[in-house]
Structure 1
Amino acid sequence: MTDERRTVDSPELLKALAHPLRLRILRHLGTTGPATSTTLAEALGENTGTLSYHLRMLERGGLIEDIPERSGGRERWWRGVRGLDIRRPPQDELTETERVVAAELDRLRMEEDIQLAQRFAAEQANSGGWMRGSRSLSHLTKEELDAFHDDYLTLLARYAHSAEDASPDARPVLLRWFGVPAD
């Protein structure tokens, strides 16, 4: 598996990410580990033809990879590419087409984030300690906010485990962070 930093800087990669089914595929591979198009189709309620197309798009974008040692005949096993730190260029460096695609990706991700926040509010008290959260206010310069963000990504990388590498008592945990000026 690769371990690289990569900037999302092509419309093809943004398009690979900015599709609801592809995001669901990536989530499933991340939470449950490797899968075939058949097992993904069953888990996601889609047909294998549709899944195969979207898997190829994700592979072309470098977001998933074939597992040759597990694949055989017509059956291909897929896993998410680990160690990627995908960041897109600043908005002013994107073309108009890339901005439209990036906005769709942001919209899809925000819908998911809102659902997670609602779930957190509804279920946190009965989660047995599995739901943790924090809110804060700080006065930062832009440089300090950038440094905080980089430190957060370093912290995520330190605790990043795939479904295959995690300890038996580990559960998939969705983590979110964003900073917004209060004024």
Structure 2
Amino acid sequence: MDETERTPSTAERVEDRHAQDRVLDSGALRALAHPLRVRIYDILSQYGPQTASSLAERLGESSGSTSYHLRALAKHDLIREVSGRGSARERWWERPVGGVSFANGEAVKTPAGRAATQIVMNEFFQLRQEQLLRFMDRSLGEEKGPWQEASMISTATARLTPEQSAELTRSIMALIDEAVDKYRNQTGDEVRPVTIRADVFPLPDLEDQS
């Protein structure tokens, strides 16, 4: 087969797509390393554009506080003002489209960089855990019907080599990327933001847990 006609492999598609992901530098990590800013960033990522007032209502903060933190995030291009929307008194903010990585090998070489990365990662995964627990509580109560049946909470264990784990990771990422690209801007009566979480990591040896 001619090389120009070769279909890219799953690994190549995933690598090409995520080659452009932004790796946050030390300045951006330090700007984000505040629990409220992580929450603001997460809301903009999951629910789309917001104002200082709408964020304040969601977070139980003053609009002055959320406005201050929005400006701090915007200073490092973590978020941006929505072009052509709002006014001088009611500005709308959004998170730019594209992948972001908190794992910066250079940043974690310094104590300040490691501390900032730890704060951001801890807060981010705490938010994800809170969302999971809230969904589980709702699924026992009011979250019935199609959404309960359309959701998945599952864990499994396999014995893999690093290469096999990498292959599995790329396959999962390819499925996620396809769904994100296809439905990113979908609207409709039954459309809701859906968080997609995938964890693949090696377990410690039993001896390490004793």
TM-score when scaled to structure 1?
0.79
> Residue in 1 aligned with 2:36?
21
Whether the 8 Å CA contact 2:46–2:193 is kept in 1: the answer is: yes
Count of paired positions: 180
Distance in 1 separating the partners of 2:47 and 2:57: 13
Would the alpha carbon gap of residues 141 and 34 (structure 1) be closer, same or farther in structure 2, given more than 3 Å must change? same
The 5 A counterparts of 1:83-162 are: 83-90=98-105, 94-124=109-139, 126-128=143-145, 129-160=149-180
Would the alpha carbon gap of residues 67 and 117 (structure 1) be closer, same or farther in structure 2, given more than 3 Å must change? closer
Whether the 8 Å CA contact 1:120–1:131 is kept in 2: the answer is: no
* Worse overlay, 172-181 or 156-165: 156-165
> Residue in 1 aligned with 2:200?
179
TM-score when scaled to structure 2?
0.71
The answer for unaligned runs of 5 or more in structure 1 is none
Would the alpha carbon gap of residues 80 and 141 (structure 1) be closer, same or farther in structure 2, given more than 3 Å must change? same
Superposed displacement of residue 124, structure 1: 3.8
Superposed displacement of residue 11, structure 1: 1.9
Over the matched positions of the two proteins, sequence identity in percent amounts to: 29
> Residue in 1 aligned with 2:4?
none
Superposed displacement of residue 38, structure 1: 2.2
* Worse overlay, 161-170 or 68-77: 161-170
Superposed displacement of residue 59, structure 1: 1.4
Q: Deviations over 1:34-77 (max 9, x none)?
A: 12212222232211221112111221232211112113333321
Superposed displacement of residue 172, structure 1: 1.2
Q: Kindly name which structure, 1 or 2, has the bigger radius of gyration based on alpha carbons.
A: 2
- Where is the helix percentage greater, Structure 1 or Structure 2? 2
* Worse overlay, 73-82 or 120-129: 120-129
> Residue in 2 aligned with 1:6?
22
Provide the alpha-carbon RMSD of the alignment: 2.9
Distance in 2 separating the partners of 1:24 and 1:162: 26
Establish whether residue 57 from structure 1 lines up as the match of residue 77 from structure 2.
no
Superposed displacement of residue 163, structure 1: 9.7
SS of equivalent residue, structure 2 residue 101: strand
Distance in 2 separating the partners of 1:181 and 1:92: 24
Runs of 4+ in 1 over 4 A off after TM superposition: 90-93, 161-164
Superposed displacement of residue 164, structure 1: 8.0
Q: Pick from 65, 90, 96: which aligns with 1:75?
A: 90
SS of equivalent residue, structure 1 residue 77: strand
